[in-house]
Structure 1
Amino acid sequence: MFMSRRLRYCLSLSIPNFPPFLPNFCFHSHSLPPLTHNADDAVSQFNHMFHVHPTPHTFHFNKILISLVNVKRYPTAISLYKQMELSGVEPDYFTLNIIINCFCHFGQVVLAFSGVSKILKLGYQPNTITLNTLMKGLCLEGKVKEALRFHDKVLAQGFRLSGISYGILINGVCKIGETRAAIRLLRRIERWSIRPNVVIYSMIIDRLCKDTLVDEAYDLYTEMVGKGISPDVVTYSILVSGFCIVGQLNRAIDLLNEMVLENINPDIYTYTILVDALCKEGKVKEAENVLAVMVKACVNLDVVVYSTLMDGYCLVNEVNNAKRVFYTMTQMGVTPDVHCYSIMINGLCKIKRVDEALNLFEEIHQKNMVPDTVTYTSLIDCLCKSGRISYVWDLFDEMLDRGQPPDVITYNNLIDALCKNGHLDRAIALFNKMKDQAIRPNVYTFTILLDGLCKVGRLKNALEFFQDLLTKGYCLNVRTYTVMINGLCKEGLLDEALALQSRMEDNGCISDAVTFEIMIRAFFDKDENDKAEKLVREMIARGLL
């Protein structure tokens, strides 16, 4: 659904790039062509300048390096800088700042610090932009504690830092989940008379919401407003999302209304957060009403919000409504992506409309889109459950041919189908192949195989496999234990079944109604009525009957 896709709404609060400031002057040269915005042309122009006599001023080389930085061609810019040095073109203060920025974005902070040494050799001092760039580079590499130590060292040497500097540090601290450290840093900069802005507050509010500390996040928002710092659409969206995460939909809606009253228009992301939350609560009609509000507010609906609503309808088994939304989207000029098709295919499969699902799958091919692992897995599961096994292996081969890696769910579906159709040895071979491909089986994989072994009378093999799983420390669930208890009961080993139930509960896995029903039925079948009735009483005492 929307959150599983992450809505493409990762908080847009990353600190902006800090290209070095260039002096406000310009050199004119009739031998130099105008600066291009195309990276390849920029490289060609850069190389051409080495053959111009006299050699152009470093300023012109800097302009091209900046144009490459602007399109994130950091390695190219670094390579051209090295050409400058080899060709005898002296880098200046601005060149070195550009290259420090490139090294930081390219994950080479050590080399960035060597750039600072060159700045010092030129007789300059690094400015706030240089220091910010280095702190950001450390944070980008996950070296947030080193960035904080660097900050302390910089202050000790008498440098002054800006609000942007602290935005970088707080962003880094929040990204590693150190919420309390971020709040302490906020309090420190307030004492230093640096006024935090909406971006800094929003970062911390976002981290608090991710930690489900939504009331604390709201308190920080209230503090921000009380200090005359106006929240923006990002701040509100974070809080709306936070309230939705903790299931406080009414507060999320109240906040949405509040932002409208403050003349801050919710954007597509804000609305989609609410649509997603309503869908997860099963309130799909209300979610569709939000779409109507969006249209009225002249917000252009995108593929994410449509797919979120479709998924909501599929979750409540209203697949026809999901289909209606799917075709409405296309009529409105929004092109469905593979995720949309996967939602519809999965929804149709769940209500056994296999042919319609296959038609949509064919439509993906007709539109020259590549189905992803989720699409293939949904369809494989559907075909397995509908008994169309002959189609499954062709689909699996196609999946591999198209470079879509099967995951543990794909393999579980195939192993389950093989077990249910009596092909246990093939299921075991596929299980081994899965492990060979470094796909880690999960508890469902183990349960499927154990059930398959028990059903064909290979209880000894099942017990050996089961014991091996326990020895290796796998966390098995009540379904896995129940499969083994059922296997023991079918072989008439009722005392062993009771012992396993006791061992299961000792391991913190509590019997459910199915576990009890299997054992009760087995004891009644063997005329051990006292034991059966004792289990019935225990079942009643636990509220399972």
Structure 2
Amino acid sequence: MCPTTPSIVEFNKILTSLVKTKKHYSTAISLSHKMEFTGIKPSLVTMSILINCYCHLGQITSAFSVLARILKSGYQPDTITFNTLIKGLCLSGKVQRALQFHDDVIAQGFRLDQVSYGTLINGLCKIGETRAALELLRRIQGRGIKPDVVMYNTIIDSLCKDKLVSDACNLYSEMIVKGISPDVVTYSALIYGFCIVGQLKQAISLLDEMTTKNIDPNVYTYNILVDALGKEGKVREAKNMLAVMIKQGVKPDVVTYSSLMDGYCLVNEVNKARDVFNAMARRGVTPNVQSYNIMINGLCKIKMVDEALNLLEEMDYEKIIPNKVTYSSLIDGLCKTGKVSNAWELLDEMHVRGQPADIITYNSFLDALCKGHHVDQAIALIKKIKDQGIQPDAWTYNILLDGLCKGGRFKDAHEIFKDLLIKGYHLTVQTYTIMINGLCKEGLFDEALTLLSKMEDEGCIPDAITFETIIQSLFKNGENDKAEKLLREMIARGLLEK
């Protein structure tokens, strides 16, 4: 007796279970093909599942071919099918095509819902088209679709990330007027916005406002504030924020502790950062590569490179894979403490582990070579890395120019500097300051003053160090009138107090 062929309903159940795992999209597609080969006709549900699979695999053309088949079979696609396609297009970065598809769907008399527009708004914000997202929010209100908190949150978050915090606050006020209640996502976005523009008081007042409105901050909300306070050097306040979140029953995670550690390292309290690092494991939080990188970088900055290398070994023991940041910090620390041969060994290890060095890593070697008066080797290294397809950055040339000037090879430095200008390289204030210092050491003060004017013509504004470099040299060589004139200019620019 032949076994009964399962019905389409049974097949749909199997396909649905495969899709729910979020891993077996290809298997589901293959199974549907086999199903059709046996003569079982797919239903609308089957084809909707296929569209979902193709979209998740980024095979948008195939997804739309299934939609065409749905329409050809006389089925009416539902909003979920349209939403799946819109989401697939947005996830593939084809947001403009998603908008065009939206227009086509509406033109054919189909209706979309809040999920459709929420997806389009999110897609626009992800590609930096926040204004277009805001315009879409305005347009849907005339189509009988009520904007929800998710749409507002998406645009508020995008505005805040663009540092347009005032606009985000206006949108927040609009939400309130329209009776849409802000949630923890709304407040977290605004708090982040205020933090990145340095308005920490306003950020903390928003945290207090959440409490009065019975909206519980989550770990992400607190992490934003701990990180911002740490980066401002307000480590005591960051630690207090950690205490507040624990008191409120919010468990700190690896990001919380890493942010606090980073804050301590920024104010050179590396031992306190190490205490936090050691406390993490005791509190059931496993350090990640970022945590180790913060500690390794902090230790290298205070020349405790051996301790930093011990942490690299610990990472290996804990099966945490070091990344470029890990190796770059250690290589920089080794180079700055004169252990250049060890740094080269670590560079080899980087390559073996599939972490090819970038220009930041090589800059550490260049700095060590130039400070060790091996400028020709530094020039050879720049040529070698360029041959590998790694482009030098402004810092690379600053290191080289400084090495040449301090090594009594100003003419070579000047030739390279002129070449950079001709090739249109973006030169920094530091680049001009190095060259101005080189000119002063050569006694070429008029040329140094000319270069000071030229850098402003190139849109590079001199800072206090640039002026001080020339002024000190002028005073030292008896050019008091010129020096005093520059001092008055510094005061006028607000670079020096009267």
**SS of residue matched to 2:459:** coil
Counterparts of 1:522 and 1:264, CA distance in 2:
61
Q: Which residue of 2 aligns with 1:506?
A: 457
Contact 1:519 1:532 (8 Å CA) reproduced: no
Q: Partner of 1:213 in structure 2?
A: 164
2:40 match: secondary structure: coil
Aligned to 1:256: 207
Selected match of 1:151 from 88, 102, 110? 102
In the alignment, is residue 57 of structure 1 matched against residue 7 of structure 2?
yes
Residues 1:467 and 2:415 aligned together: no
Does residue 161 of the first structure (1) align with residue 112 of the second (2)? yes
Contact 1:415 1:448 in 2 (8 A): yes
**Residue 119 of structure 2 aligns to a residue in which SS?**
helix
Aligned to 2:485: 537
Distance 1:450 1:375 in 2: 27
Aligned twin of 1:224? 175
Distance 2:94 2:83 in 1: 14
Choose the corresponding residue for 2:335, options 384, 387, 405: 384
Please list, as runs of the form range in 1=range in 2, the aligned pairs for 1:450-529 lying within 5 A after superposition.
450-520=401-471, 529=478
Cα distance in structure 2, aligned partners of 1:455 and 1:258:
57
- Which sections of structure 1, spanning at least 5 residues, go unmatched? 1-30, 32-51
TM-score using structure 2 length: 0.92
**Deviation for aligned residue 1:315:** 0.9
Q: Is the CA contact (8 Å cut-off) linking 1:415 and 1:449 kept in structure 2? A: yes
Structure 1 CA distance for aligned equivalents of residues 436 and 218 of structure 2: 54
Matches of residues 326-337 of structure 1 in structure 2 within 5 Å? 326-337=277-288
Aligned match of 1:68 in 3, 18, 22?
A: 18
Contact 1:75/1:102, CA 8 A, preserved across alignment = yes
Q: What's 2:49 paired with? A: 98
Distance 2:168 2:55 in 1: 32
**1:344 shift after superposition:** 1.2
Deviation track 1:172-218 (CA, whole Å, cap 9, x = no partner) reads 22222222322222222222222222111211221222222223322
Amino acid at match of 1:537: K
The CA deviation string for residues 336-366 of structure 1, in whole angstroms up to 9 with x for no partner, is 1221121112112222233332332332233
Amino acid at match of 2:137: L
1:308 aligns to 2:308 (yes or no): no
Spell out the pairing of 1:89-128 with structure 2 (5 A cutoff): 89-128=40-79
Letter in 2 for 1:204: I
Post-superposition CA distance 1:35-68 (Å, at most 9, x none)? xxxxxxxxxxxxxxxxx73321122222232223
Note if 1:291 corresponds to 2:254.
Answer: no
Supply the distance in 2 between the matched residues of 1:230 and 1:515 (Cα, whole angstroms).
Answer: 52
Question: Cα offset for 1:235?
Answer: 1.8
| 3-state SS of paired residue (1:53) | coil
Amino acid paired to 1:57: S
TM-fit CA distance, 1:513:
4.4
CA deviation profile, 1:401-445 (whole Å, cap 9, x unmatched): 122222221111111101111222322222123223332211110
SS across alignment from 2:291: helix
- How far the C-alpha of 1:313 sits from its partner, in A, is 0.9
CA RMSD of superposed structures (Å): 2.3
Show CA shifts across 1:475-513 (max 9, x none): 112221232233344444444444433332322334444
SS at structure 2 position matched to 1:542: helix
CA contact (8 A) 1:478 1:510 kept: yes
Indicate whether 1:368 and 2:319 are aligned. yes
> Could you tell me how far 1:312 is from its partner in structure 2?
0.6
- Tell me how far 1:108 sits from its aligned partner: 2.2
Cα distance, 1:170–1:280 mapped onto 2, change above 3 Å: same
Q: Structure 1 residue 97: deviation in Å?
A: 0.8
Task: Encode CA deviations 1:141-198: one digit per residue, 9 max, x unaligned.
Answer: 2222222222222222211221212112222222222223222222222222222221
Structure 1 pair 437–80 and aligned structure 2 pair: CA distance change class (3 A): farther
On the 8 A contact 1:243/1:251 being kept in 2, the answer is yes
Secondary structure in structure 2 of the residue aligned to 1:485: helix
CA distance in 2, matches of 1:188, 1:515: 53
Greater CA drift, 450-459 or 102-111? 450-459
Shift in CA distance, 319/117, structure 1 to aligned 2, threshold 3 Å: same
Counterpart of 2:22, as a letter, is K
Q: Take 1:207 and 1:519, find their aligned partners in 2: how far apart are those partners?
A: 44
- Indicate yes or no: 2:393 matched with 1:442: yes
2-structure distance, mates of 1:362, 1:504: 47
Alpha carbons of 1:122 and 1:508: their partners in 2 closer, same or farther (altered >3 Å)? closer
Matching of residue 273 in structure 1 with residue 224 in structure 2: yes
Residue type at the aligned position of 2:271: N
Q: Is the 8 A contact 1:516 1:535 kept in 2?
A: no
Contact in 1 for aligned 2:474/2:482 (Cα 8 Å): no
Q: Secondary structure at the match of 2:357?
A: coil
Q: Separation in 2 of the partners of 1:173 and 1:524?
A: 58
Q: Distance in 1 between matches of 2:177 and 2:473?
A: 69
Residue 532 of structure 1: how far off its partner (Å) = 4.9
Q: Which secondary structure does the structure 1 equivalent of 2:250 belong to?
A: coil
Q: Which amino acid aligns with 1:540?
A: R
Distance 1:459 1:79 in 2: 69
Match of 1:235 among 170, 186, 190: 186
CA distance in 1, matches of 2:467, 2:167: 45
Residues 88 and 230 of structure 1, relative CA distance in 2, 3 Å threshold: same
Provide the rounded CA distance (Å) in 2 between the counterparts of 1:519 and 1:199: 56
| C-alpha contact (below 8 Å) 1:103/1:111 kept by paired residues | yes
Structure 1 distance, partners of 2:442, 2:423, is 26
**Are 1:520 and 1:533, in contact at CA under 8 Å, matched by a contact in 2?**
no
Q: Distance in 2 between the 1:466 and 1:87 partners? A: 73
Return the letter of the residue paired with 2:193.
G
Residue equivalent to 1:17: none
Structure 2 counterpart of 1:44: none
Distance in 2 between residues matched to 1:511 and 1:504, nearest whole Å: 7
Q: Which has the higher contact order (CA 8 A, sep 6+)?
A: 1
Runs of at least 5 residues in structure 2 that lack an aligned partner in the other structure = none
Following superposition of structure 1 onto structure 2, how do residues 407-446 of structure 1 map, counting pairs within 5 Å? Answer: 407-446=358-397
Residue of structure 2 equivalent to 1:136? 87
Cα contact 1:521–1:532 (8 A) shared by 2? no
SS of 2:285 mapped into structure 1? coil
Length, aligned pairs only: 492
Using a 3 Å threshold, how does the CA distance of structure 1 residues 500 and 241 change in structure 2: closer, same or farther?
A: closer
Q: 2:357 matched to which residue of 1?
A: 406
2:134 corresponds in structure 1 to: 183
- How many Å apart are 1:309 and its aligned residue? 0.4
Distance 2:440 2:214 in 1: 68
